[in-house]
A and B are shown apart, each in its own frame.
Chain A
Amino acid sequence: MIRLNRLCAGYFGKTVIQEVTMEFLPGKVTVLLGPNGSGKSTLLKASLGLLPLTGGEVLYDDVDIRRLKRRQIAQKAAFLTQSRNTPSIQALRMVLHGRFPYLTYPRHYGGQDYAIARGAMDATGSRQHENTNVSLLSGGQRQGVYLAMALAQDTRTLFMDEPTTYLDIGRQFHMMRTARSLAREGKAVVLVLHDICLALREADRVAVLQEGRLLCLGEPDAIYQSGALEQVFGVGVHRVDTPHGMQYYCVPQQVPGRIAEECQNT
C-alpha cells in the first residue's frame, strides 16, 4: 500500500503540493477532485516518484520511495498518463513493455509475458488491435492499449490521470466499470477526474484538493454533505434519487463578486 506523509512537491523550486497526508487503500477506487491547478496531477507524479519531493515522504509498503529503484517502483505502481505519445509500434509489442520492470538480462519477453500482455488486452477490450500499429488507432482505442500496458505491469496500485477526459460517454462509463472491477480484484485504483458527478457516483473515496492542500477525504456521501465541493469549485452540487440510483448534478452558483460585476456592466 502507498501512503503519503506530509508530502510536499512541486516544479522548479515552486511548491505545488503542501503537507498532504493520505493513503491509497487496496480494493478501493479513490478519486482526486479539485479545480485546475489544485495539484492533482502533481500529487500523482510525486506519488510515483516522477517529481523530486520537497518535504515529507512517500511510503511504498512502509519503505521510503527515495530508497527504491525505478524498477522496484514500477513493480508496485503503474501510471496511465494524461497526455500520451503516439508511437509507431505494434500494439501487442507495446503492451509487452508493461513487463519491462520484471525483465532481467538479456531482457527477452517470454511466454508468460505474452500471456499476461494478451490477458491485459482482453481486460481493456483492445485484443482485436493486437497486430495494429498504435499510431493508426483512434484516441479511445489507443488509451485502451496504454491501459493494457499499465495492467500488464501487474501492480497493486494503479494511478490514472484524467482517464475519461477525451472519451465519449459510453467509453467513460466503460472506463469507470473497468476501474471498479480492478478495485474488486484488490487493486488500489487512484483517478484524477474533472467530472464531479461521475466521481460522486462511482468512487469509494473522494479526496478534494484546494491550492495544493488536501481539504477533505472521505466517502462520496460525506464529501457531498460537507459542502467542500461547492466551496472549492464555486458551483452548486445537488442530487436526486432516481430508479438508477443517486444521480448528482451541478448548477451555477451566484458568486457575490460576480453579481457586482454584472450590475456594473448593465
Chain B
Amino acid sequence: MSSLRIFSTRRSDIIFWAGLCALTLGAAALGLWTGSVKLEPAQVLDALTGRDGTSAAARIVLYSRLPRTCAAMLAGAALAVSGAVIQTVLDNPLASPSVIGVNSGAGFAVALVCAAAPLAQRYTPLVAFGGALAGVLLVAGLSQRTGASRMTVILAGVAISAMFSAGIDTAVTLVPDAISGVTDFRIGGFTGVTMAQLAPAAGLIFVSLGIVFSLSQQMDILALGSDTAQSLGLSVGPVRITLLVLAAALAGAAVSFCGLMGFVGLIVPHTMRRLLGKGSLSLMVSSALGGAFFVTMCDLAARVLFSPFELPVGIILAFAGAPFFLWLLFKQRGGRT
C-alpha cells in the first residue's frame, strides 16, 4: 500500500515537472512565433539557426522577439525566485520584492543614475542591485531589530516602497528625458529591450540562481525557524544575509531592464508551494520555470491583445496578480496565524 503511494507521488511528480518544462518551452516558442507580424515557424527556425540573417522576418525574430522573449523569461524567473527567497528569509508569506520595496529601491537607483549621470547607463544592473539591496536590508533590518510582527514588516515595506516611488517620480519629473519609456519603466515592460542590454543582467541572474539553488538545504532549515535552525548547526545570520543579497541581485537585475514589475514574485512562489510542497529546491526551481512561463505568456498577451497597440506587460501582470493577492490576504486572515 505504502509503496503504491510512493509510486503514485513519484509519477505525479514526473507529470508536474514534465508539464512545467513543456509549458515554459512552449511559452518561449510562442513568444518567438507570435506577434503583430505573422511568421511561419520555418522562418523563425531559419532566423534562429542563422540560415537566414537578413530578411525582414529574420530581423523581427532576432532583434525584436528573441530579446523580448529572453527578457520576459529572465525577469519572470528572477523575480519569482527573488520572491520565494524573501518569503523564506523573512518567514512571511506576504512578502515579495515589489511589496517590500526591493523593486522600487532598484528603480529609484536606476532613475537617479539615469537622471544624474546618463553616461553610466551600462552599469544599470549593478546600480539597480545596489538599490534593491538597500531596500531589502532596510526591511530585513527593521524586522530583525524590532522583532516586529509579520503584518508590521509588510506595512514597513509598503512605506519604504512608497518613499522610493516618490524618489523615482521626483527624478523623472525633474529630468523628463532620463528614462526612455517612463510608463514602461513605472509599470514594467520589455519594449525596445536589446540583447546587449540584457547580457550583463542575464549574467547576474544566472549566477544568483545557481547560488540560490545550491543553498536550498539551508533554506529548508531556515524555514524551521531561527532557534531550530541554529540548534541544527546552521549559522543563521550569515545565511540570511547571503540569501537577501541574492534576492536583491535577482530583483535588481530584472528591474534594470524591465522596470518595476509587480506581483510575479508573490504569485508564482505561492502557486508552486501549493502545487508541490516538497522543500526549497523544488520550490526555487519550479518558481524559476513558472515565473518564466507566466511573464512570457503575459508579455504575449500584452503584445497581441490590442495589436498593433501594445500594453506594458506590468498591466497584464497586475490584472492577473491583484485578485490573487487579495485572495491570499483574506485566506491568511481567516486561516493560520
Q: State the A residues within 8 Å of B (CB).
A: 45, 48-50, 69-75, 77-79, 81, 83-90, 93-94, 97-98, 100-101, 107, 131, 133, 135, 146, 149, 153
Is A84's CB under 8 angstroms from B223's CB? no
19 residue pairs of the A-B complex, CB under 8 angstroms, read A48-B230, A71-B233, A72-B233, A73-B231, A74-B232, A74-B233, A84-B225, A85-B223, A88-B279, A90-B277, A90-B279, A93-B220, A94-B220, A97-B221, A101-B232, A101-B233, A107-B217, A131-B9, A133-B278
Complex Cα distance, B336 from A84, in Å, reads: 13
Q: How far is the CB of A29 from chain B (nearest CB, A)?
A: 19
> Which residues of chain B have a CB within 8 Å of any CB of chain A?
2, 5-6, 9, 91, 217, 220-221, 223-225, 227-228, 230-235, 273, 277-280, 283, 336
- Top-3 shortest CB links A-B: A74-B233, A101-B233, A79-B231
Contact status A85-B224, CB under 8 Å: yes
The one of A77, A87, A88 in contact with B231, judged by C-beta atoms closer than 8 angstroms, is A77
Chain A hits for B273, CB < 8 A = 88
Q: Known contacts A74-B233, A77-B231, A100-B233; decide if A83 and B217 are in contact (CB<8 Å).
A: no
A87 lies within 8 A of B230 (CB): no
Looking at A69, A78, A100, A146, which has the most chain B CB atoms within 10 Å of its CB? A100
A87 touching B233 by the CB < 8 A rule? no
B248 to chain A, nearest CB (A): 24
> How far is the CB of B218 from the nearest CB of chain A, in Å?
9
| Chain B residue nearest to A101 in the complex (CB) | B233
B227 contacts A50, C-beta separation under 8 Å? yes
Contact yes or no, B277 A89, CB < 8 A: yes
In the complex where A93-B220, A131-B6 touch, is A81 in contact with B228 (Cβ < 8 A)?
A: yes
Residues on A with beta carbons closer than 8 Å to the beta carbon of B278? 89-90, 93, 133
Task: Label chain A's interface by main secondary structure.
Answer: mixed
A100 touches B5 (CB 8 A): no
A93-B279, A94-B220 as given contacts; A73 in contact with B233, CB under 8 Å: yes
With a CB–CB cut-off of 8 A, which chain B residues contact A73? 231, 233
Please give 4 more A-B residue pairs, beta carbons under 8 A apart, in addition to A77-B231, A88-B277: A45-B227, A70-B235, A79-B228, A85-B91
Given the contacts A70-B234, A86-B336, A97 and B224 also touching, CB distance less than 8 Å:
yes
Say yes or no: B228 contacts A84, CB within 8 Å: yes
**What chain A residues lie within 8 Å of B91 (beta carbons)?**
85
Bound form: Cα–Cα A40–B41 in Å: 70
- Complex Cα distance A74/B236, Å? 13
Chain B positions within 8 Å of A87 at CB level: 220, 223-224
Chain A contacts of B223 at CB under 8 A?
A: 85, 87-89
Measured between beta carbons, the chain A residues less than 8 angstroms from B225 are 81, 83-85
B1 nearest CB across to chain A (Å): 11
Shortest Cβ distance from B6 into A: residue: A131
Contacts of B231 in A (CB 8 A): 48, 50, 73-74, 77-79, 81
Please indicate the chain A residues that have their CB under 8 angstroms from the CB of B280 in the complex. Answer: 89
CB distance from B226 to the nearest CB of A (A): 8
A78: chain B residues at CB < 8 Å are 231
Q: In whole Å, how far is A202's beta carbon from the nearest beta carbon of chain B?
A: 24
Set A75, A81, A107: member contacting B227, Cβ < 8 A: A81
Contact of A100 among B232, B277, B283, B336 (CB under 8 A): B232
Question: Which of B221, B227, B277 gathers the greatest number of chain A CB atoms within 10 Å?
Answer: B227
Residues of chain B within 8 A of A74, CB atoms compared:
231-233
Query: A94 contacts which chain B residues (CB < 8 A)?
Result: 220, 224
Q: Which residue of B lies closest to A84 (CB)?
A: B225
Closest to A133 in B: B277
Expressed in whole angstroms, the Cα–Cα distance for A107 and B217 within the complex equals: 8
CB distance from A166 to the nearest CB of B (A): 13
Contacts of B224 in A (CB 8 A): 84-85, 87, 94, 97
A227 → B minimal CB distance (Å): 34
Does B5 lie within 8 Å of A131, measured CB to CB? yes
Tell me which of A75, A83, A135 contacts B277 (CB under 8 A): A135
